[in-house]
Structure formats: structure tokens, C-alpha cells
Chain A
């Protein structure tokens, strides 16, 4: 992660607070602090994973970066230019360069449009190809590229299986040759035998087209396999960030350790010997997050007077991980709590 790497996207101090309004005058009585001070870089050609439990702000972060939502504060620098405050009109040319793939291949495709129309729509919106016959050829090439039968051009989404629909979503996303693809839980709605098909497709397309991918998922095994670097989020903040190899070999933040420890391993012998560390309780409400370190209410290493008073900065720890913790996990603790992390 040297400075020489080519940064495509730089996010600094990003905030998104959704106001909570109440009463006759709809006065603001509070805010859901969905994203609460997030910094990260995305390098050209890499896959960055964003992981965390539901409500940690990973999807909101993705929607801010692609400017589907307006940030409350902070900067988003895209190829050297701050896009955090651009207007809709100014954003339009940028939309070609960043595309999204969604979780649910059933609800993200218009059921009344043919697959040809769905995949060809970006060409019309951005005025790339107005001639219908040429457009059809381009769409069929895309279908071929993602492993769909080009003869199915005139079919409707319901005539495809879940895996094929996700391929349609991928074809639509790569139609305009974007630089960045944000994939929000792209395989979590798919059957296990189909998941691998889509993961391999994304990897092949990334190589072929030189794509940069932000990959959001809650499945830590999928993220490890897919991503070069991973950022772990908890209650609107990044608590740990490292390369996949480092993060999974030696998680430093106790939250990352607990997440990894909770992943069920498809090996009965290993899971019998495992001393799983089960976190108690639930994620606190993002309207009123705990003081200082937000994880202190559930942390197995909580120290009163420190963790609930001083907010730990995201800083370099042993082994090269960036973690926001006063008492990061030691190698010994990792070996005991996360059997799969044996480096």
C-alpha cells in the first residue's frame, strides 16, 4: 500500500446523517448516524471489500461514493476531483464511469422490459448508440461476454434463473465500460452452486476490462476470496483495514476477531475443536452510538476508563493492519480465538 499506487478514489472524513423528524412541524429530533467519519482509498484495478453486520453503514457508504446519496460532510475525490458536492447535471458524465450491481436480481430488473432493452438502456441514456440495429449487436456481444445466450435477447427477466438474472445485472453494469463497479451483496441471494459462477465471472471481467471493484458483503469467506484489501465497518466507522492476507491471518481489532470466529467452517472436525468467541448482545442503535470506541459495550477486551473515554484512532498495528483499538488482539489471543486465522 505504498503512495506510488494509483488512487482512483479517495474518501476523507465522510459523514451521512439521516435526520429523524417528529411532531407537527417536523422538527429534527435526532439523526441516524449511518456513516460517521470514514476514510479510505481505492486503488485502480483492485477489489476493496467492505464488511460488517447489517446497519454498519457499508451500503450507505457505497451509495455515497457513487453519489446516489448526498453526503452530510466530507470529501470524495474521484481521479483528483472532489465530487462530493456536484449537482445532478454535473454528475451525469460521471455515472458512466461508476456502476452498481445489486443484491436482489429479482427486484433490480424491470419485469416488463426485455433483457435486450434492460442491457441496452445505458447506451440510450448516455447517447452512446442511437441506431437500434447496432445497439442490438452491442447488447448481444455483452450477453455473450457474461455467459448469456445472445438469442435470449427478447426474453423477459422472469424467464431467467437467479444466476442468469445476476448476469444480466453484470452486463448492464459493464455496458458503458465503467472504471469502478460497486457490487452490493452480489451473490448473497444466489444458491451456493451458482455463487461461484458469478464470483468467477466478476474476477474474469475485472482482468479483461481492468475494472476496480468495491465489493460489499457480509459473508467473510466470500470477501476473503474476492478482495485484495478489506475494510471492516462497525456502527458507521471503519474499525480495521488491511490486505486480505493480513486481515484474515491476524485480525487486530477484537470486532474483526469476533466476526472471523463466528464464521461456521465446513469441516466438522475443525468446528468441534473450535473455541468460538460469541459476542453478546446486539449492535447498538446508530442514533445514539456508544461514547469513544463504539465497540466498547460488546468488546471482550474492554477496559473501563480508557475505551469508553478515549476514541481510538485508526492507526498502524503489528503486522501492518490499520486498526482503531487501544488494546489490539495479540498473536496468542488470535490463535486461541480464531482457529482459521493460523497464519
Chain B
């Protein structure tokens, strides 16, 4: 197989603040192949946005301490100068954000903004760039693009603005598109339009996509591979089918069982995950999910789990429960048992999973 397009290795992004060091991203590794889609799922504060903004070079601040490697097309982006980053950003890597209204300048016509985005990266005349802008607007499904190119952002609806943002992101034929909650502010019918558009572009232009979202439904539609993040780390990663059918991390189980969905019986109980995500300043010792995990054992509060392979191809999980126990628990949960019932039925041993680091051992890399 060819080199992956994007390779993130042991990325750590720590911010110095008045209250202490916020470990927003704390040892994250993933790869994205050309033309493929990776979904990063997590709740607010899980580090999903910070990790991808770092790929774009958007977290370079005086109080940020960034370590690890980000290889894009063979080039280390963390070692790149600000000027080099400017060439990559918006050129080879583009991003669309949640809120299309605040990402567009209200005073300029969308055409002018698209032309500018094009000309920053290409030595073209304004007329050429304008033709390209019109072409992009029509590609993303803006009706009457020749006229609409001269409209202002406020003259577009929310869904249309997100299309304009997508047109701007794609105007330089990026190899990688990072979409950070691109449909969260939109209605379902418009969300369906935008997701369909992103998929179409992925397949037609062979653009790789990193889709960041809290919505499990959205990643199921778009992503071939999924990484679940919790408290600054990836806790489970695998093919979309595996993550939804054979998940092995208790947090992933919690997410799947806490959302109401249209394809299960209406009266199915929702099982909330108790408590809330930990502070990223004072992370709990041992497994970060231990304070909320129904299956926690004493040793889990002392040993830090690492991502290790699980059942299924390319499936990894960072959990201290022995794999046999994990599979037994999930088969109960999947059959409709509550976490208490599953715990009752499955004997959860004190021993740690085979892949867990030995107690007292310092963990350096995931």
C-alpha cells in the first residue's frame, strides 16, 4: 500500500493557562489515505477539533506546546515555517467549519472571497479566478452561479452558505478536506444535502476527508474509518462497520446506547453515561474513563491503558479489561442488557488485559 496522505504520530498539544497546563491533545496517532474518509467522534473537550486545527497549523500560539509528528504528503508540518504553512493551508489542506456565517466576511461579495482564496495560491488573473469561482459554485449546487457569485453572504441561507464555504475550501483542489462539525448548525434536510455533497466530492475529486463530529449518525454515513476520542486521546479506532457492530471500548458502548435512534424499538431505554468528561488539567490517574466506567476495577485507576489491537482487522482499543471480558460484556449490552445486568452476568476479573502496561511502568507513547 502507498504511503498514507496524512500521518499523525503521537501528537500532543498542551496549552499553558492561568489555571494550569491544559492537555487538550495527549498522544494521538492516526493516518488518512488519499481519497478516504476518517471520522473523528467525541464530545466537547475531547480534543477532536484541536488535533485537526493543529494539522492546519492553527494552534501555533505562544502558550501552546506542540510535540509529535504530522506528516502530510511526506512533509513534516510541525517543522514547517509559518510561510510554508500558509502555502499548505487552503491550498493542499482545506477546512470547513461549523458556523458558515462567521467564517465568511460579511462586507465582501462571496465571489470576491472565492477569487481571493484562489489567487493566494495560484498565479492567475482575476477573470480566470472568477471563472473558477463560478465553476466551483455550480459544482457545489448553488443555483444560477453566474448571478450568485456577486451576492453577499447574508443573501444566502444557512445551507447555501455552507455550500459556499465548501466551494471556497475546494477551489484549490486540496488533497485533504477537514470538516469540523460541518452540519451541526443545519436542519436535517439541509444536512442530508451537505453530506451528500461531501461524499460526491470525495469520490469525484478523490479528496481525502477528515470529518469531525459528535453525531454518530453523521460519521456512519460518511466515514470508512472511525476514531473515538475521549479526554485528549483516541480510545478506539477501526473500520466504521467494526466500530458500530463490534465496539470494544466502554465509552463507545456508552455513546451508542445513550442516543435514541430510528432503527431500534421506540421504547428502548436510553442509558446515559454517568458523570461528565474529566478536566484536561488534572486528568484522573490511570484510565481517563475510569470515573465514568461501569466496569471499572481497582487497578484501572492506577494503570494507563494504551491503544492495542482488538478483534477485527485494523481495530485498536485502549481498554484495560481483558478482551474476552469486553466481548462478553458487549454481547450482553447488544442484546439489550443494562450495564448493571451485563456486569452481573459477566465475571469481570481484577486482572488486566494482556496488552496493558505493567503497573508502575511509565507509558510514553500510544
Residues of A whose CB lies within 8 Å of any CB of B are: 53-54, 161, 163, 191-197, 199-200, 218, 220-222, 224-226, 244-245, 248, 258-271, 276, 278-280, 282-283, 340-341
Provide the B175-196 mask, 1 if CB < 8 A to any CB of A, else 0: 0000000000001111111011
Complex CA distance for A199 and B266, rounded to whole angstroms: 14
Chain B nearest CB: distance from A286 CB in Å?
A: 13
Which one of A193, A271, A283 lies within 8 Å of B43 (CB-CB)?
Answer: A193
B43 CB contacts on chain A under 8 angstroms: 191-193
Q: Interface size of B by Cβ–Cβ distance < 8 Å?
A: 44
Which one of B217, B241, B266, B270 lies within 8 Å of A196 (CB-CB)?
Answer: B270
Chain A CB within 8 A of B337 CB: no
If A192-B215, A193-B254, A268-B220 are given as contacts, then 19 extra A-B residue pairs at C-beta distance below 8 Å, sorted by A number, are A192-B214, A192-B255, A192-B259, A194-B272, A195-B258, A199-B260, A225-B266, A263-B188, A264-B195, A264-B215, A264-B218, A265-B220, A265-B262, A266-B217, A266-B256, A268-B240, A270-B263, A271-B220, A282-B157
Whether B221 lies near A192 (C-beta < 8 A) is no
Chain A CB within 8 A of B321 CB: no
**Interface-centre pick from A161, A193, A196, A260 (highest chain B CB count, 10 A):** A193
Whether B270 lies near A53 (C-beta < 8 A) is no
Which one of A53, A248, A267, A341 lies within 8 Å of B266 (CB-CB)?
Answer: A248
Chain B nearest CB: distance from A315 CB in Å?
A: 25
Complex CA distance for A248 and B215, rounded to whole angstroms: 21
Complex CA distance for A264 and B221, rounded to whole angstroms: 7
Which one of A193, A199, A276, A340 lies within 8 Å of B255 (CB-CB)?
Answer: A193
Whether A244 lies near B259 (C-beta < 8 A) is no
Which one of B160, B188, B258, B268 lies within 8 Å of A192 (CB-CB)?
Answer: B258
Whether B188 lies near A262 (C-beta < 8 A) is yes
* Interface members, chain B 214-269 (any A CB < 8 Å): 214-218, 220-221, 240-241, 244-245, 254-256, 258-263, 266, 268
Whether A264 lies near B240 (C-beta < 8 A) is no
Chain B's closest residue to A164 (CB) is B276
Chain B nearest CB: distance from A40 CB in Å?
A: 21
Chain A's closest residue to B240 (CB) is A268
Complex CA distance for A224 and B270, rounded to whole angstroms: 12
B244 CB contacts on chain A under 8 angstroms: 266-269
Chain A CB within 8 A of B103 CB: no
B270 CB contacts on chain A under 8 angstroms: 196, 199-200, 225
Whether B217 lies near A263 (C-beta < 8 A) is yes
Chain B nearest CB: distance from A83 CB in Å?
A: 31
Chain A CB within 8 A of B159 CB: yes
* Interface members, chain B 144-170 (any A CB < 8 Å): 157-160
Complex CA distance for A279 and B259, rounded to whole angstroms: 25
B189 CB contacts on chain A under 8 angstroms: 53, 258-259, 262, 278-279
Provide the B270-289 mask, 1 if CB < 8 A to any CB of A, else 0: 11111011000000000000
**Contacts known (A218-B188, A279-B189); A266 close to B220, Cβ less than 8 A:** yes
Whether A245 lies near B266 (C-beta < 8 A) is yes
Complex CA distance for A307 and B216, rounded to whole angstroms: 37
Chain A CB within 8 A of B44 CB: yes
Whether A264 lies near B220 (C-beta < 8 A) is yes
5 closest A-B pairs by CB? A264-B217, A225-B260, A196-B272, A262-B192, A193-B273
**Interface-centre pick from B158, B189, B221, B273 (highest chain A CB count, 10 A):** B189
Chain A's closest residue to B197 (CB) is A278
Which one of A200, A221, A276, A283 lies within 8 Å of B262 (CB-CB)?
Answer: A221
**Contacts known (A265-B217, A266-B217); A276 close to B192, Cβ less than 8 A:** yes
Chain A's closest residue to B46 (CB) is A191
Complex CA distance for A246 and B211, rounded to whole angstroms: 34
Residues of B whose CB lies within 8 Å of any CB of A are: 43-44, 157-160, 187-193, 195-196, 214-218, 220-221, 240-241, 244-245, 254-256, 258-263, 266, 268, 270-274, 276-277
**Contacts known (A192-B216, A264-B221, A266-B220); A224 close to B259, Cβ less than 8 A:** no
9 pairs from A and B in contact (CB 8 Å cutoff): A191-B277, A192-B43, A195-B258, A196-B270, A221-B261, A244-B266, A263-B188, A264-B220, A269-B245
Complex CA distance for A266 and B257, rounded to whole angstroms: 11
Complex CA distance for A54 and B272, rounded to whole angstroms: 28
Which one of A195, A226, A266 lies within 8 Å of B261 (CB-CB)?
Answer: A266
**Contacts known (A193-B43, A196-B271); A248 close to B262, Cβ less than 8 A:** yes
Chain A nearest CB: distance from B269 CB in Å?
A: 8
A193 CB contacts on chain B under 8 angstroms: 43, 254-255, 258, 272-273, 276
Complex CA distance for A155 and B333, rounded to whole angstroms: 38
A279 CB contacts on chain B under 8 angstroms: 189, 192-193
B277 CB contacts on chain A under 8 angstroms: 191
Chain A nearest CB: distance from B7 CB in Å?
A: 24
Complex CA distance for A226 and B14, rounded to whole angstroms: 40
Whether A278 lies near B258 (C-beta < 8 A) is no
Whether A200 lies near B272 (C-beta < 8 A) is yes
Complex CA distance for A175 and B215, rounded to whole angstroms: 33
**Interface-centre pick from A54, A248, A261 (highest chain B CB count, 10 A):** A54
Chain A nearest CB: distance from B54 CB in Å?
A: 22
Which one of B261, B271, B273, B274 lies within 8 Å of A265 (CB-CB)?
Answer: B261
Chain A nearest CB: distance from B126 CB in Å?
A: 30
A270 CB contacts on chain B under 8 angstroms: 263
Complex CA distance for A180 and B23, rounded to whole angstroms: 44
Chain B's closest residue to A277 (CB) is B192
B187 CB contacts on chain A under 8 angstroms: 53-54, 218
Complex CA distance for A34 and B220, rounded to whole angstroms: 35
Complex CA distance for A268 and B263, rounded to whole angstroms: 12
Whether B260 lies near A221 (C-beta < 8 A) is yes
Chain A nearest CB: distance from B267 CB in Å?
A: 8
Whether A224 lies near B220 (C-beta < 8 A) is no
Complex CA distance for A245 and B218, rounded to whole angstroms: 24
